[in-house]
Amino acid sequence: MSTRTRFAPSPTGHLHVGNIRTALHNWMLARQAGGEFWLRVDDTDAERSEERFVHAIRKDLAWLGLHTDGETRQSERLALYEEAFDTLRDAGRIYPAYETQQELELKRKIQLGRGLPPIYDRGALKLSDAEKAQHEADGVVPHWRFKLGHDEAIAWDDGVRGTQKFEPAQLSDPVIRRADGSWLYMLPSCVDDIEMGITDVLRGEDHVSNTAVQIQMFTALGAQPPRFAHEALLVGREGKLSKRLGSLGCDSFRERGIEAQALVAMLARLGTALPVEPIADIEELVETFDLSTFGRAPARFDDAELDRVNAAIVHQMGFAQVSDRLPDGMDESGWHAIRPNISTVPEAADWWRIVTGPVEPRDFDEETRVFLATAEDLLEWSDTPWQDLTATLKERTGRKGKALFLPLRQALTGRDFGPDMGELLPLIGEDRARDRLRKAAES
């Protein structure tokens, strides 16, 4: 079977940077192998799932260039889960449990107080038929747990973490269905992976214990588990898990002027041994994608590094890539002149206002005003007006270096620095240039 991966977000909110990284790596894994990447919308939580978030997820994936080969929704697959539930129950691998949340929490506290791991004690398995009937008569509706086989060793070769082994007796039998009949993550995910033909599951290391449990579920359902890999989680620059990372989504990146290519370039290699580089071609990133380069240490997400990568990406972008986002009147020569001085495309509008004006005159001293008046007199328009003007002024006034160039830049742009004046002055134009030099000389 060819490689098939999936990204399985819950539509209860917008994607955040951790989700985006998971989606990207699954897409790259499939793309590199010539396989398929699927979107699975985990919308079994009917109360919290919203259609607007489904649309937002699709929009974000498209913006990032992570096109899917198919999409499925858990809410449309409930019959499959019921069938698997019945199969496991008939096989004695699912059992009802009647404890309330408060009772479970009390058990947990007692175990912790005794220095024991807070593992479910399988109290529900010790109930007699009469005790179960009494619970039912009292109106207690059970939740359902998957019974782990304590004699079934759990082990797998993790794509990032290497050989993983778990002792089933040290794990709690997971709740797979609530008392109201709604599903938790574990069983539906296994059923979907089997039915969809998922060959590889790449997800965060916080799912390692889930994988241990699900491997037994796959086996109990008569299926071969997919290959698993668990990557390190993202942390902030300070090296700690940050709530802020949970709020960083595509909308916030777009508002900051971050390019999709920059975000992809950074997240593609974050947490790996490969350097983060401003690689705009996603296919180049795919070619170098390798799970063996992923480290076990937390992956640090640094806004400053993202800004650096973004600026470098912007400096590579051609006019055709940005023309629909530039201010009116800004042509290819304008983009070429301004591009080296910006970190985000929206910043082009600020520099373009310097071209179109008006420019607030500076308070120059008398000597500088005389120099600028001379500059206006000597300005002769040509294909290279800046080079011609500065050469003539240097010869006439004896000025050179900063004393020659800075007053002219200040008078013509109102700034002490900026784009190359050889490219900028033709954009300003002769009439505006003369007017600015004249006003600066009279200031």
252 three-class SS: helix
Give me the residue label for tokens 């109201």. 180
Residue 58 CB contacts under 8 Å (≥ 6 apart), including other chains: 39
Give me the residue label for tokens 């079977």. 1
Give me the residue label for tokens 């009279």. 442
Candidates 436, 416, 438; CA nearest to 425 is: 436
Q: Do residues 315 and 287 make contact, with C-beta atoms less than 8 angstroms apart?
A: no
Joined together, the tokens standing for residue 269 give 């290699």
Residue 63 is which amino acid? W
List, in sequence order, every residue forming a beta bridge with 72; answer none if it has no partner: 40
Chain Cα centroid distance, residue 110 = 41
* Strand residue runs (E) in 3-77: 4-7, 36-41, 70-73
Cβ atoms within 10 Å of 436's Cβ, excluding its own: 23
Tell me whether strands 143-146 and 94-97 are parallel, antiparallel or unpaired. Answer: antiparallel
CA angle 373, 377, 380 (to 5 degrees): 135
Q: Do residues 397 and 375 make contact, with C-beta atoms less than 8 angstroms apart?
A: no
Give me the residue label for tokens 């799932």. 49
Q: What is the crossing angle of helices 348-356 and 421-428, to 10°?
A: 60
Residue 227 is which amino acid? R
Torsion of CA 112, 116, 117, 118, to 10 degrees: -50
Ligand-binding annotation for 243, yes or no, is yes
Cis peptide before 358 (omega within 30 of 0): yes
Rounded to 5 degrees, φ, ψ at 436 are: -70, -40
Candidates 92, 95, 87; CA nearest to 174 is: 95
List, in sequence order, every residue forming a beta bridge with 40; answer none if it has no partner: 72
Rounded to 5 degrees, φ, ψ at 176 are: -110, -15
Residues contributing to the annotated binding site? 243
Residues contributing to the annotated binding site for ATP? 243
